Amino acid sequence: MERTFIKDLQEHKGESVLIKGWVSVRRDQGKMVFFDFRDMTGMVQGLVIPGGAAMETAKNTSRESVVAVTATVQERPSKNAQADKINGGIELLIESIEVLSPAAVLPFEVNEDTAGIGEETRLAHRYLDLRSERMQRNIRLRSELVRRCREYLFGKLFTEIETPLLTESTPEGSRDFVVPSRLNPGKFYALPQSPQQYKQLLMVGGFERYFQIARAVRDEDLRADRGFEHTQIDIEMSFVTQEDVMRTVEEMITTTVEGMGFTIKEKPFPRFTYAEATEKFGADKFDLRTPEDKENGVMAYAWVHKFPFFEKTSDGAWTFTHNPFSMPVPEHVEQLLAKKDVGEILTTQYDLVCNGYEAGGGSIRAHKPEILKAAYEVMGYSEEEIQGRIGHMLTAFGFGVPPHGGIALGVERLVMNLTGESQLREVQAFPMTRGGQTAVMKAPKELTAEQLAELGIRINPEKKHGQ
Residues 410 to 429 in contact with a second copy, rule: CB under 8 A: 428-429
* C-alpha distances out from residue 356 to 251, 281, 390, Å: 21, 10, 34
Q: How far is the CB of 288 from a second copy (least distance, A)?
A: 30
Give the one residue of 29, 78, 314, 460 binding a second copy; rule: CB under 8 A: 460
Instruction: Provide the minimum distance between the beta carbon of 79 and a second copy in the complex, in angstroms, as a whole number.
Output: 32
Q: Is residue 384 a contact point for a second copy (CB under 8 A)? A: no
Position 88, amino acid: G
Determine, following the binding rule CB under 8 A, whether residue 449 of this chain makes contact with a second copy.
Answer: no
The answer to the question of residue 438 lying near a second copy (CB under 8 A) is yes
Whichever of 127 and 262 has its CB closer to a second copy, that residue is 127
C-beta of 304 vs 415, nearer to a second copy = 415
Question: CB within 8 A of 152, min separation 6: which ones?
Answer: 251, 252, 255, 256
246 and 301 in contact (C-beta within 8 Å)? no
Does residue 324 have a cis bond before it (omega within 30 degrees)?
Answer: no
Quick one: which segment of 212-220, 250-258, 321-329, 357-365 binds a second copy (CB under 8 A)?
Answer: 212-220
Q: How far is CA 189 from CA 108, 143, 176, 195, 390, in A?
A: 41, 30, 10, 14, 17
Looking at residues 363 to 382 of the shown chain, list those that interact with a second copy (rule: CB under 8 A): 367-368
Binding mask 214-233 for a second copy (x = CB under 8 A): -x-x-x--------xx-x--
> Which of 13, 127, 137, 251 forms a contact with a second copy (CB under 8 A)?
127
Q: At what angle do helices 369-378 and 383-397 cross, to 10 degrees?
A: 160
What is 112-139 written as a DSSP string? Answer: S-GGGS-HHHHHHTHHHHTTSHHHHHHH
- In the shown chain, the binding pattern of residues 257 to 296 toward a second copy, with x for contact by CB under 8 A and - for none, equals ----------------------------------------
Applying CB under 8 A, does 64 fall inside the site for a second copy? Answer: yes
Using the rule CB under 8 A, is 445 a contact of a second copy? yes
Q: Which of residues 90-109 bind a second copy (CB under 8 A)?
A: 100-104, 106
Site for a second copy in 307-366 (CB under 8 A): none
By CB under 8 A, which span of 76-84, 176-184, 250-258, 300-308 interacts with a second copy?
176-184
Cα angle 49-55-60, degrees, rounded to a multiple of 5 = 135
Q: What is the full DSSP assignment across 67-92?
A: EEEEEEEEEPPTTT--TTSTTTTEEE
- Tell the smallest beta-carbon distance from residue 386 to a second copy (Å): 14
| Nearest partner of 429 among 417, 412, 446, judged by Cα | 412
357, 421 Cβ separation under 8 angstroms: no
